[in-house]
Structure 1
């Protein structure tokens, strides 16, 4: 791929090289979508049982491993934002273990703040996109993404490893490895599916710039809307809209999103029946 890129700006063969590069990326994305569906399953945590599993993962990562939060007697990491959030898990189908969690914090009033508004509002550039630019019911925040250590490459990995989903290659099969580096992507696409279901148009998140670059590479074009600050590590505020997401995703990852959307929509339907 790197050898192809150096020819991409030559007029005669540039278009052909770019087509080949796009084909390779799209093919890889299709493979990842297939592997994700085979080994991983998104679960919207409607029940207290599933919420408890999500809170346990968060406690394991945020309290025990990273020590961002104090240890809790019940080994569940929770806060006030959970009361107006939708939680999502990723289940590893072969083992039944949970490979990660994320939450979508919603708001219906000015008093019901998003975490970024309560703790990091000063980090958002006033000239950039701001939560106050939109109706409250149209905004959300993706937060508390966490992936257990057994699904990461090294147990000693810090937050970057937790966020990106590198895993223990000595435990899982070679074929499964093609999927697991995208656990974080799967969590973000699962969160996107839930926001689309709720009709939310605008999303904010505090994340590491390195993770944002990785997500942008696969077509999730989070836009940085403020400087890097110290908030559980070096983080910056990011924004993405429904329009930016749908325009940015490659065909392969759009297929992955569609597959996840179907699974998420079915769970909402079952809940409402």
Structure 2
């Protein structure tokens, strides 16, 4: 069985995000970029499936700017077998929308014929949480979102997923789309020998035109702003004064 893992290049989660002075978007100049953390978990799970003998090949895919090849090299260094880069934008500030990404992934899935697509549940830059579900709808495949545990049982996948009320375990028919949550696993660090080997692993470069997909944006960002600064606290001298302050706040 082949596993396909889409990965996205995003601002590193340790970096403080800055908004451009004109409010047109997030400033990406000289900012450290890395693999979306949820996608990293998906890559790790795909590699574990292969190591357990339940998968034969792990293919990483990224759709975006040419610099995303660095993200794919990270996936290859972790243990993915090969990669596909779809160069869909020239400007790093251009974010390919979920529907366009899902359409490109649909074409790749039809070409590669994987048994399972493992996606991060969302990207930490736009938090859309939509690509996996859209891909499932376009393909007509089963889906299991927010997975915290995954096991392959014959021609089915048994998935424990996180829901509002706790945990839910479902069995879905393969092929399937699974979007992963934070508690699924702890991604490995790529060793230096594997980083060197990753440079020799195959990476195909494609464009949206190769798959007949139009990536023209359907959404327009009107403005971007940082959250309002939190107001300073107030020191009170007694319980009675605290109660009065709480009453004032409740009355606002």
TM-score (norm 2): 0.27
More strand by share: 2
- Higher RCO (Cα < 8 Å, 6 or more apart): 2
Higher gyration radius (CA): 2
